[in-house]
Amino acid sequence: MGLAFALGLSPAWGFTPPAAEDVPESITVRGKTHTLKDLTNPLWAQPEKIPEFVRQGSDLYFKHCVFCHGDLLNGEGLLADRFTPRPANFHTKDSIFDRPESYAFWRIMKGGPGLPQKSEPWNSVMPAWEDVLSEQDVWKIIVFIFDGVANPLTPDTPQEASLERGRVVYEDKCAICHGPEGAGDGVSAEQMSPRPRNLTKGQYKIRSTPFGKIPTDDDLHAMLVHGYPETTMPSWRHLPEVDLQSLILLLKEFGKKKFERAVKKNKMPEPVVVPEPPQFTLESVERGRKLFLQNCSGCHGVKGRGDGESTKKIVDIATDAIRPRNLSQPWTFRRGSRREDLFMTLRTGLSTTAMPRFSDRIHPDQNIWDLVHYVQTLSLLLKPQVHKNLKMTRVEGALPQGPEDPRWQQITSFFVPLGSQIMQGEKSYFTTVNNLWVEAVHNGKEIALRIRWDDPTYDPILESVTKVVESPAPPLPPHLRVEEDEEEEHLAAASPEAAQFPDALAVQLAGPESALDNLPYLLNGDESNPVTLWKWQSNPNGARQFTARGMGNTSPIENTSPLNSEVIFEYGQYSLVLKKKLDQTDPAHPDRLLPGSIIPIAFNAWDGGMKETGTRRSVSNWFYLIAD
């Protein structure tokens, strides 16, 4: 398969909604043709039932749409920053709210694949819902969206906060997730991870008060205003202050047993005070490293990637016992990633989780700041920027050999976000691999890619064929041990057995009949527009080449040069090198590896340990390899 493009033809990264002239005259859904200019929402003809339609539409929206378009209909859902173009913000000009409802009906039924070519349908993750939702379902979702955009605030805002007002606002904004009585059993709760908090327990993970104690009113206010990053809990800062205060009264009413107990015992907790941060020094970092290995690596792992030995016992996603935070990705921290935020988390712990507090009776403030300073060295300070163009560096002579070849350190790394595949087939709403790093090189005849991604577990069968280094259980081995007099335990190693489902990573390359302004659909193409897959999997360990015509429709590529692979797993991270001598059958053959040539590329990842297989996977948008 042969394809490359001139650099100057690289398409725009943004998205422009279809203009009026691009809307089709009619669409066919399940054999029924709808003329869009004459199509109206039949539900408005039943005004007495509109409140019920809004409720039903809300249930459907939170089941199918919230992960991308968000609780607030603003396009800021959990997966919003994983894909480009971003999900639609229904509050902005030229959204579906400013169009005839027939436009919304078309967009929901036909999704991204139904867009006109100028809108780049190949890069849109908006599913076509025509085989999932009925016409009535779609109209109810539209009623809910239109009502939500028209009424972003709960009507009839009072002058003073009250428990009664709190109930009204809660039922309007919160019950869909947290349930009618605050038990965390809302309509959409089962699809969320972490699940919505059970407010009746009076336990809050993020507080300024000691572990297990009730939060202050300021804590509850901060929770409502800031929301929780990387969860479906949004910020409610747009609500009137009187409504926020009313919600605080209701939250305390839901958990009144715990709140009243503190009042009766006259044991209202005092907030933990964060002292002035000391200077960041290398000596502090080294002390923090030792403290981290002693106290934190059992859960968070040696490199902080959430792969500690203890996770094998404490993690159970089915019961909402989620994994320890990946400390190498601070943009996912619920409280925040400032030094003061980390200090508070360590001092107070995270109630209802396995994250304990660091008591001041054992750990003075210096210990906490030392830990904070070390944790900050495990990651970048800011979330990496995403670039659509990925540089493929030309080198002379032999390409880097394996994942640990030092020459990779001199090649530019590019950050690629991935999102859960919730568009087609069996879906996985909370996949493990949310991003990866890629480096690419060529010498005019061969191409090599190094791809690195975090995964807290690995396929045990790899122990027999490649380098595997996992975060050890205490006591630590000599090279990590802090106390020199501890004796190393030697456990008899059993023969490794393969996981039920292999871990896997696929590189997707556009097919020969594609053009830069008409790429195959990002989900492995389709019958008319195939793609090439270079797919590595852990069992059997190796990489194979396929032609894909949609997910689940693949066939091996024969009569081509082999695709070589080498993989290692170290402290919660896979590092994979794919290398291929190019021939005329490849998406980038030697004649096309000229300076400025472009090869469209995308990525799929599977965490077999979380039973990700088939369509249950992480996926990326199309990116563009640019040859030196």
Q: Is the pTM of this model over 0.85?
A: yes
> For residue 625, what are the β-bridge partners?
390, 599
Count Cβ atoms within 10 A of the Cβ of residue 521 and give its class: 0-12 exposed, 13-18 middle, 19 or more buried.
buried
Annotate 580-623 with three-state secondary structure.
EECCCCCCCCHHHCCCCCEEEEEEEEECHHHCCCCCCCEECCCE
Does the pLDDT at position 585 exceed 70?
A: no
Instruction: Return the CA Rg of the chain.
Output: 26
Residue 146: closest CA among 203, 187, 101:
101
- Give the residue from 512, 561, 510, 552 showing the smallest Cα distance to 532: 510
pLDDT of residue 7: 36
Give residue-wise pLDDT tens across range 259-275.
999 988 888 899 999 99
Average pLDDT across the chain, whole number: 91
Instruction: From 219, 217, 276, 272, select the one nearest 245 (Cα to Cα).
Output: 217
CA diameter of the chain: 82
DSSP state of 306: S
pLDDT tens-place string over residues 93-120? 888 888 999 999 999 999 999 999 888 8
pLDDT class of 475 with cuts at 50, 70, 90: low
Q: Which residue, chain included where needed, has tokens 């327990």?
A: 201
- Amino acid occupying residue 112: G
Domains and CATH numbers, the chain: 14-150 (1.10.760.10), 163-264 (1.10.760.10), 282-376 (1.10.760.10), 389-481+494-627 (2.60.40.1190)
Structure tokens at 96: 């579906």
Three-class HEC string of 527-577? CCCCEEEEEEEECCEEEEEEEECCCCCEEECCCCCCEEEEEEEECCEEEEE
pLDDT of 524 strictly over 90: yes
What does the pLDDT look like over 481-510, one tens digit per residue? Answer: 554 443 333 334 567 899 999 999 999 999
Contact in structure between 203 and 212 (CB atoms under 8 Å)? yes
Q: In this predicted model, which residue has the larger pLDDT, 488 or 620?
A: 620
What residue spans of 43-134 are helical by DSSP H?
Answer: 50-64, 66-69, 101-110
**Residue whose token pair is 């159970």:** 316
Cα separation, 250 vs 169, in Å, equals: 10
For residue 503, give Cα distances in angstroms to 193, 212, 265, 612, 623.
Answer: 21, 38, 53, 8, 23
Which pLDDT does position 381 carry in this prediction? Answer: 81
Looking at per-residue pLDDT, the higher value among 547 and 94 belongs to 547
Element at 251 (helix H, strand E): helix 241-254
pLDDT for residue 52: 98
Query: Could you give the C-alpha distances from 283 to 289, 349, 369, in angstroms and in order?
Result: 10, 25, 12
- Sequence-distant (6+) residues with CB within 8 A of 111 are 124, 126, 127, 128, 129, 423
